Amino acid sequence: MNGSCLCGGVKFSFAKFDGGIANCHCSMCRKFSGAAYGTFGTVRTEDLNWESGFDLIKIFNSSEKAHRGFCSTCGSSIFYRLSTPDAPFEIAFGLLESEPVESPTANIYCANRPKWPRNIDELPNFEEARVMKK
Ligand SMILES: [Zn+2]
Ligand SMILES: [Zn+2]
């Protein structure tokens, strides 16, 4: 599986996810991703190949026990990682280049989940931008 950030500077690949993929609704993941929630999949350090741009990744210590990596050029959220040696990378799902075989299996930290994204499946869908009726 291949992934890259918005500017394409950071590129990585890996063979498989290792463990549960989840939508995290905590306020930190929401702000980190700038979206309703953050979707992350666990990839073991030894399974992850940083193809290019690893030096572009800036680290933000979001708590005493975890940090987050983002592209210093375009701002894309790249990963969440516990600050312990050999901790796996929780890779941001939105960076994947192709449709993954696996999909999220849980919503976590739902105590912080806002109400506004809950009706996404009930909204009208447009192939591209919304056409506003006059
Ligand atoms: Zn970038
Ligand atoms: Zn979270």
Is there a domain that residue 101 lies in? yes
| Cα of 131 from ligand 2 centre, angstroms | 34
Tell me what pLDDT residue 6 has.
98
Tell whether 132 is covered by a domain: no
Determine the Cα–Cα distance for residues 28 and 70; give it in Å rounded to an integer.
14
Nearest to 92 by CA among 71, 112, 75, 78: 78
Calculate how far, in angstroms, residue 129's C-alpha sits from the geometric centre of ligand 2: 29
Q: Domain range holding 43? A: 2-122
**Confidence check: pLDDT of 40 > 90:** yes
Q: How many domains does the chain have?
A: 1
What's this model's pTM, rounded to 2 decimal places?
A: 0.91
Calpha distance 110→24 (Å, rounded) = 8
pLDDT at 24: 96
Expressed in angstroms and rounded, the spacing between residue 40 Cα and the centre of ligand 2 is 9
**Overall average pLDDT of the 1-19 stretch:** 96
Which listed ligand is nearest to 37 at the C-alpha?
2
For residue 122, the 8-state DSSP code is G
In-domain check, residue 73 = yes
CATH number at residue 83: 2.170.150.70
Per the domain annotation, does 49 fall within a domain? Answer: yes
pLDDT of residue 96: 97
CA of residue 76 to ligand 2 center, whole Å: 16
For 41-91, how does the pLDDT look when each residue is reduced to its tens digit (9 = 90+)?
999 999 999 999 999 999 999 999 999 999 999 999 999 999 998 899 999
Q: From CA 107, how far away is CA 46, in angstroms rounded?
A: 27
CA of 2 to the centre of ligand 1 (A): 15
Q: Give distance in angstroms: CA of 46 to centre of ligand 1.
A: 23
